[in-house]
Amino acid sequence: MKSCDLQSGAGRIRRALEHLELAWAEATDEWNDEASRAFQERHLEPLIPVVKTSLDAIGRMELLLREAQRDCER
């Protein structure tokens, strides 16, 4: 039976989030006004915790799928 690999996708998501956070930090060096703060408040602040929660869920799902696979192989 072929195993599911959720960690590769989770790794890509994690790296994309890190890239976003770094790019935003660089952008705010030059763009630091009311519009940038509104963008951060409306888009980034809600997004980042959701992505982190999703990554945690992916990790838990990976463990459950591995356990189910082991059970099926018995």
- What would the pLDDT profile of 2-40 be if each residue is shown by its tens digit? 567 898 999 999 999 999 999 999 999 999 999 999 999
> Sorting pLDDT into bands at 50, 70 and 90, what band is 55?
very high
Q: Please enumerate in sequence order all residues whose Cβ is within 8 A of that of 7, keeping only pairs 6 or more positions apart, or say none.
A: 58, 59, 62
Provide the CB-side half-sphere exposure for 62 (13 A, CA): 13
